[in-house]
Structure 1
Amino acid sequence: MLTSTAFLVVMLVGVPIGLCLCVAAIVYVLASGNMVLFQSYPLQMFNAVDSYGLIAIPLFVLIGEIMNAGGITKKIVDMAMAFVGSLRGGLAYVNAIANMFVASILGSATAQVAIMSQIMVPEMEKKGYDKDFSAGLTAYGGMLGSIMPPSVMFVVYSVMAQVSVSDMLMAGLVPGLILTALFCVVIAIIGHCQKFPRSEPQTFKQRAATVWAAVPSLSIPIVIVGSIFSGLASATEAGAVGAVMSLLIGRFWTRRLRFSDMPAIMTRAGLYSAIVLFLVVAAGVLSWILVFGRVPQEVAGWIQTVAKDPVTFMLLANVILLVIGTVIDGIPGLIMTVPILLPIATEVYGIDPHHFGVVVVINLVLGLLSPPVGLCFFVAAAATGANPGRMFMVTMPFFLITCVLLVILSVFPTISLIFIG
């Protein structure tokens, strides 16, 4: 009780969530009177990041930074426009499809929303789309950044769950593709009802030129996902290859990137990676304290009185995770929930940890698009000037269809395990 109180107090004061967790662990040790635990405290912090798989995080972040600076994202948007831009609501389809491709490189929901908002929303406004809808759709597209491989959240989860990073990334591929398809269905329905505008059709020659210009950019996600799926490279190795490819394409193909830009790019990537890795350290300390205090066992006992089978447990977990995701960011949400819920899912109900990880991540990211916090909406609003509250209302169908997908995944786990050997 004292530990929980200490955590809430320091969090409400405004202390970063990683430090809150570390302070709460110290308070627990002091309250227990077992000072010997302080000898293990530094070791637990070190063990939390002593993982080869975590090297993938700075590499994936670096790829996103290079893409943004090198104009690679714009090439992918132009290619999507060539294929679906002439349909009714074409720019809305472009938004969803381009987000899917960009997600397979950036791997971060908030970073993706910030970048795509500046690219897509002004263009959609020019064509007559509502600004709040455009920004809201872009925010929902950012969900794919945490689901499609590579995903920083999946890397963090895989380390916490002690499963293969490559397998965890591939588990998100099919759900990510399904979610993209469902978003396109919603766009089609809304576009028909609201008479979305059409863009001017392109000639075959124009489309061919646009696709040719985007081929090198598309090779980045193809190589990353393909090398992981084929077993030719681990997620970390694929991230290194992707970083080199994005550097070469940005410098010699799009010619928007200069080698003199690299120090600033690497500094930004390093700062974000350091924040994520410190959260992983806090996760290791929290997991250690929770296990020592037998918290998972106590929670498991309560859940077993409510959920009698795996499906019921998954549906209950969906509600818990979504509520937590509405007030806590994605990676801190992982840190607070996985050490408690994962042992219950795997040991009590026999749920595959890869499948559980997909459901956890989608729920927590959906929470980023839900009141009262809605971080992705605020990121999109800051970039475009849209109204966060109205963004949530006009994009409610996307929220509902994502909830439907979560229920389907909870009932049919094989969807997320197709590519897991």
Structure 2
Amino acid sequence: MSTVGIVLFGLFFVFLFLRMPIAVALGLSTVLTLLFFDLPIQSVPATLYTSFTKFTLLAIPFFFLAGLILERAGISRRLIYLAQTLTGHLTGGLAIVAVVAACFFAAISGSGPATMAAVGAIIIPAMIKAGYRKDMSGGLLATAGGIGIILPPSIAYIVYGVIAEVSIGELFIAGIIPGLFMGLVLAITSYFIAKKEKIPTLPKASKAEMWKAFKDATWGLLAPVIILGGIYSGIFTPTESAVVAVFYGLFVGFFIYKEIKISDLPKLLLDSSKTTAMIMLIVASASTFAWLLHIEGIAEDMANVLMSVASNKYTILLMITLLLLFAGMFVDAISAYYIFLPIFVPIMAAMGIDPVHFGILMTMNLAIGLVTPPVGLDLYIACGLTGLSLKEITIGVIPFVLAAIGVLLVITYVPAMSLWLPELLNMR
């Protein structure tokens, strides 16, 4: 690596160690490196501006707002009750309910933390009351929350698609099987833990209760059908689907469930604006970091180093997986895309790795990063919901993270898991 690269990454990790916000660490390390080596710092404003003036990125604020609206409308509560009537009577039933509900809400919100917060706030207290350990309950929901960025619609896929210039529609449909597979493995893991700890099951729901729960949750179940169906049928783009999701949530909240009032709108808009501002600041700072990697040839040098260590595609994939799992402990998903994709894109091209498949496995890596300390956002949400310390919640998350890594390895080395559906629907 060149001297510029060493200084750039050195400053970045120093700032992370000093606990600076990730956006500040990325931006400040870039600016100081430019000043130190007398590089063209006048290009930074233009890079910052062009980084967040892309039409596709408009989906981010709208999906955040849609998730908040749909949760406020009572959809998450109804989806959880439906899942409870279907699987609550099984061994580990309430834990399975948590996973099923996370998959349902993931197919609406597009965000891991939003899925974790919406489902966890309701199901974690119920699990603890039913006899599940606090750390196990929080650990399961934190890991299941990561499904929020694996199942479509996913904000992570939108960012990846923009950077790697890959079809977001293909990424959305390619993420369906991996996301459901992750949910299945987490449910099986929960079953064995509940069986070992002899946690009592819930009474089996009657057919009448199931039907009532299904009717009550119908509008929630229709949300992903409308959002994804509209994209795949070509009625609207992924960006436009986020706007459709907002208006659908408002319609359901105001006129069907009648749980949203006009007075709720300012808070919903403010909350989504805060999250969007944070994300876009990261996008802008990370874009300047990635720009410097590119103009100085740092990304190309690092790609060449990786390929010189191993020439086998499968060995390279394993090295990238280990690197991303480690990086996920310190940086958020969006920053990771901007930092590492300039390095990985030439490797993908040289090794013949499908960019859609790579997008899924990279996103799954970063979903696991949401629950790995010290910077796992879903872990901190779980701490808040359970009242446990980071150390205590980390113990509970270990079996689920190991299960998730097992799923990741399958998805990494069996590309058909990601590519079969897009090929079946003639999207390729």
Shorter-normalised TM-score: what interval? over 0.9
In structure 2, C-alpha distance between the alignment counterparts of 1:385 and 1:391, rounded to whole Å: 9
Instruction: Say what the alpha-carbon RMSD is for the aligned residues.
Output: 1.7
Q: Which residue of 2 aligns with 1:81?
A: 84
Q: Which residue of 2 aligns with 1:25?
A: 30
* Contact residue 11 and residue 17 of structure 1 kept, 8 A: yes
Q: Which residue of 2 aligns with 1:310?
A: 313
In structure 1, C-alpha distance between the alignment counterparts of 2:167 and 2:234, rounded to whole Å: 12
Residues 373 and 229 of structure 1: is their aligned pair in 2 closer, same or farther, counting only changes over 3 Å?
Answer: same
Aligned AA (2:235): L
Q: Which residue of 1 aligns with 2:359?
A: 357
In structure 2, C-alpha distance between the alignment counterparts of 1:367 and 1:39, rounded to whole Å: 34
Q: Which residue of 1 aligns with 2:299?
A: 296
1:6 is aligned to 2:11: yes
Q: Which residue of 2 aligns with 1:275?
A: 278
Aligned AA (1:409): I
Secondary structure in structure 1 of the residue aligned to 2:205: coil
TM-score where L is the length of structure 2: 0.93
Stretches (4+) displaced over 6 A: none
* Contact residue 169 and residue 238 of structure 2 kept, 8 A: yes
Q: Which residue of 2 aligns with 1:67?
A: 70
* Contact residue 111 and residue 154 of structure 2 kept, 8 A: yes
* CA offset digits 1:92-139 (Å, max 9, x no partner): 110000000011112221222222221001111221221211111111
Shift of 1:204: 1.2
Q: Which residue of 2 aligns with 1:99?
A: 102
Shift of 1:387: 4.1
Q: Which residues of structure 2 form unaligned runs of 5+?
A: 1-5
Residues 118 and 23 of structure 1: is their aligned pair in 2 closer, same or farther, counting only changes over 3 Å?
Answer: same
Aligned AA (2:419): L
* Contact residue 382 and residue 393 of structure 2 kept, 8 A: no
In structure 1, C-alpha distance between the alignment counterparts of 2:126 and 2:176, rounded to whole Å: 29
In structure 1, C-alpha distance between the alignment counterparts of 2:267 and 2:403, rounded to whole Å: 39
Shift of 1:348: 1.9
1:194 is aligned to 2:201: no
Aligned AA (1:303): L
In structure 2, C-alpha distance between the alignment counterparts of 1:391 and 1:26, rounded to whole Å: 37
Shift of 1:57: 0.5
Aligned AA (2:357): H
In structure 1, C-alpha distance between the alignment counterparts of 2:282 and 2:398, rounded to whole Å: 31
* CA offset digits 1:114-165 (Å, max 9, x no partner): 2222100111122122121111111111010111111111111111112222
Q: Which residue of 2 aligns with 1:371?
A: 373
Count the aligned residue pairs: 418
Could you tell me which of 326, 341, 345 is aligned with 1:342?
Answer: 345
Aligned AA (1:110): P
1:45 is aligned to 2:41: no
* Contact residue 146 and residue 365 of structure 1 kept, 8 A: yes
Shift of 1:347: 2.2
Residues 111 and 384 of structure 1: is their aligned pair in 2 closer, same or farther, counting only changes over 3 Å?
Answer: same
Identity of aligned residues (%): 31
* Contact residue 142 and residue 397 of structure 2 kept, 8 A: no
Secondary structure in structure 1 of the residue aligned to 2:421: coil
* Contact residue 124 and residue 385 of structure 2 kept, 8 A: no
Secondary structure in structure 1 of the residue aligned to 2:311: coil
Q: Which residue of 1 aligns with 2:3?
A: none
In structure 2, C-alpha distance between the alignment counterparts of 1:155 and 1:165, rounded to whole Å: 6
* CA offset digits 1:291-346 (Å, max 9, x no partner): 111112211221112221221111110100001111222222223222222332x2
* Contact residue 342 and residue 356 of structure 1 kept, 8 A: no
In structure 2, C-alpha distance between the alignment counterparts of 1:11 and 1:191, rounded to whole Å: 38
* Contact residue 132 and residue 387 of structure 1 kept, 8 A: no
In structure 2, C-alpha distance between the alignment counterparts of 1:203 and 1:12, rounded to whole Å: 55
In structure 2, C-alpha distance between the alignment counterparts of 1:158 and 1:283, rounded to whole Å: 16
In structure 2, C-alpha distance between the alignment counterparts of 1:312 and 1:139, rounded to whole Å: 30
1:26-175 matches, cutoff 5 A: 26-34=31-39, 37-175=40-178
Secondary structure in structure 2 of the residue aligned to 1:81: helix
TM-score where L is the length of structure 1: 0.94
Could you tell me which of 388, 391, 398 is aligned with 1:396?
Answer: 398
* CA offset digits 1:34-64 (Å, max 9, x no partner): 4xx2332222122212322111111100111
